[in-house]
Chains A and B, each alone.
Chain A
Amino acid sequence: MKTLMLGNEAVARGLYEAGCSFVSSYPGTPSTEITECVAKYEEVYAEWAPNEKVALEAAFGASLAGKRSFCAMKHVGLNVAADPLFTISYTGVNAGLIIGVADDAGMHSSQNEQDSRHYAKSSKIPMLEPSDSAEGLAFAKLAYELSEKFDTAVLLKMCTRVSHSQSVVETGERQVPAQKKYEKNPAKYIMMPAYAKKKHPLVEERTKALTEWAETTEINRIEPGEKKTYGIITSSTCYQYVKEALGDTYPVLKLGMIWPMPEKKIKDFAATVEKLIVVEELDGFIEAHCRNLGLAVSGKELFSGIGELSQNIVKEKLGQAVKAGETLSEEIPARPPVMCAGCPHRSLFYVLKKLNLTVLGDIGCYTLGAVAPLNAIDTTVCMGASVSGLHGFVKAQDEEAAGRTVAVIGDSTFIHSGVTGLINIAYNESNSTVIILDNSITGMTGHQQNPTTGYNLKGDPCTKIDLESLCHAVGIKRVRVVDPYDMEACQTAIKEELAAMEPSVIISRRPCALLKYVKHPGPICADPEKCKGCKACMNIGCPAISMENGKVKIDNTLCVGCGVCGQLCKFGALSAEGGR
């Protein structure tokens, strides 16, 4: 049956059809929907793991036990999973194992623009790269065949435009291979030096065999062109931009496997064209391979390694005219993302700003606390870095400065990799104050359950990790809970914990305002008679509040009635009365 599917949904379908039986992932845009979609198939066991390293190791365990398994992550998640990745390259697999990784050129929803293809080369694990949904489905199935044939995990590399574009796929039936028997094999699975030394040459042999396969496989295909002036090597979404821009004008070598790449096939292709051009996003990965083969090639000198490419960019760089439409002469104000109306993070950030604290931030919706007018966050690096960074910052400062610094981290991020930093704070005794923003969900990626919510990926009730007990257990004696909507209580708690001469954790607890089960009282009433136009309420950056003719105005379609603005108004112009 022909249907329209997101790239991520198509990969999930491919996993299902290939008989994948175990999935463990950590959410991350743009990879999240692969796992959400595969979880909808009853036959597939699927879970959210606390982080990507755990996810990959769990998937490896399932492969060892003999079932086809999978894990997904975003590009930066692969950094977290890199430790098992490099050694799983040596052990190989029992049943097939696929690692899905989704890059985010253009940084639609990421903190950096790293190119995951380097991981394939450095870990010596083959990588397939689909260019649309149909290939997403087909490559997922093919990846299992490769995985079992060559005794290796396989990386399936997505990107924002392939993950989050819908295109036409044809679905098939699910076929589950018989579960493979697990057999003890120390030389294969115990990677201590004696065995690992024997394994490494086998990994190099495997790469040679995979390179041979790359020479003949249909997924590395040459599409003929009318002119030989250029020959283009490309892959992933860039292939689609090339075909859109140039049609069948020039011959194209489309690589479906991005590592290892063929050698002879590329040389032969280069020999048939006048000028060899590589069209790829981010780094010159294919280009470097061509240079290693001794070929003259143009790549990054034409196509920027920063941000995304497009059909117009391909045309322009190859000397064809491109005409943009007309623009207005007006200055069009930007519309950056903002914290939602009623977001429990907003009021806490307001208090942090008011107290003029140094705030080490983390990854999640609350990163938006960095933007005006809150401007409450000093740093954002990676998952968990707020907590571990705070420890170093506090240790390196005098006592007085330490009393003006906090870390903020969400519930899911804390479990992902904040808790190890907290253990360091307790163990090495820094006078740190960590604020866990517990909104009872993984928010930014679109509401995924996590170990603190009491529900699993399939939506069933499960063991709930108690954050207070966890913090106590790792050695933090001062643990207290506040309601972020109560700004006075937040301020008191933060001041007291900063003054305390030992580590402490403040859990700022209120569910995300977008969660379906959260009941809101209804919009606040703005009283223009009482409003003096002082704009104190504007300092929290709520999208539901604006000024009209010098008076405060509430957008009733957005306001949920959290009442935070009312706490800022000295004149009682924003109240729950009347408006609800």
Chain B
Amino acid sequence: METKNIMIVGVGGQGTLLASKLLGRLLLTKGYDVKVSEVHGMSQRGGSVVTYVRWGDRVCSPIIDKGQADCILSFELLEAARYTDFLKPGGRIIVNSQQINPMPVIAGAAVYPENLAEKMSALDAQVDAFDALTLAEAAGSSKAVNLVLMGRLAKHFDFTDEEWMDAIEHSVPPKFLEMNKKAFESGKNA
């Protein structure tokens, strides 16, 4: 099979690493060759963070380059807009519509662009923008945005519920398992 590519983007501290860990586990149990590339260190401090998840028969490069992503899974609206050039023609953008102002915007040196979801829809892309934060809060914690987004992703990929649940169970602490499962379901069904 041709290598599949998902870019997980967001703001440092939003929980993107858990999402990639979960996805990596799921893909490995499916028997694929998998590579997941993460960002650690300075950029994690509230900066723009990118994680690449790739799977197939044989995956060489750990990174996704411009024009190669089948899907951009974004934890924040501006971050999805930042990386549209990484998307394949007709690729999918799943985006939490939450807006987090970066420091240049807070400091008044830049403006947060308006109507980004609509503008992205005008590109050669299938855009699915929704409020994952509210769903996460309803499930029990704003920190569960990552599982809400995983749930949304699950709609578009051909993995069974059992496979997803196994990956979730192996990726989140037991005491938050039920809440995270709830968040996953709400993302999937919303």
Contacts and interface: CB of A to CB of B under 8 A. Distances in A.
Do A and B pair up? The answer is yes
Interface of A: 2-4, 6, 29-30, 32-33, 108-109, 132, 161-162, 164-168, 237, 240-241, 243-245, 310-312, 322-328, 330-340, 365, 368, 371-373, 444-446, 538, 541, 543, 545-547, 557
A29 B36 contact: no
Given A328-B120, A330-B113, A340-B46, A241 B61 contact: yes
Contacts of A328: 81, 84, 113, 116, 119-120, 123
A311 B61 contact: yes
Contacts, number: 198
7 contacts: A30-B41, A167-B35, A332-B82, A332-B113, A334-B104, A545-B106, A557-B142
Given A337-B43, A338-B47, A371-B103, 9 more contacts: A165-B38, A312-B66, A322-B67, A325-B123, A333-B104, A335-B79, A336-B103, A336-B104, A340-B46
Contacts of B102: 333-336
Q: Name which of B61, B84, B106 has the most chain A CB atoms within 10 A of its CB.
A: B61
Contact of B42 (A109, A237, A241): A109
Given A328-B120, A330-B116, A164 B67 contact: no
B81 A310 contact: no
Nearest to B33: A168
A161 B62 contact: yes
B85 A331 contact: no
B138 interface: no
Say whether chain B's binding surface is mostly helix, strand, loop, or mixed.
mixed
B113 A108 contact: no
Nearest to A539: B107
Contacts of A166: 20, 24, 34-38
Interface in B1-49: 11-13, 20, 24-25, 28, 33-48
Query: How large, as a class, is the contact surface on chain B?
Result: 35 or more
A237 B59 CA distance: 12
Contact of B46 (A6, A29, A338): A338
A337 B44 contact: yes
Say whether chain A's binding surface is mostly helix, strand, loop, or mixed.
loop
Given A166-B24, A333-B112, A373 B65 contact: no
Contacts of A546: 101, 105-106
B113 A331 contact: yes
B190 interface: no
Contacts of A132: 35, 62
A4 B87 contact: no
A325 B65 contact: no
A372 B63 CA distance: 31
B130 interface: no
Contacts of B63: 161, 165, 310-311
B40 A325 contact: no
Contacts of B20: 166
B42 A240 contact: no
B95 to A, nearest CB: 13
Q: Name which of B63, B79, B113 has the most chain A CB atoms within 10 A of its CB.
A: B63
Contacts of A547: 108
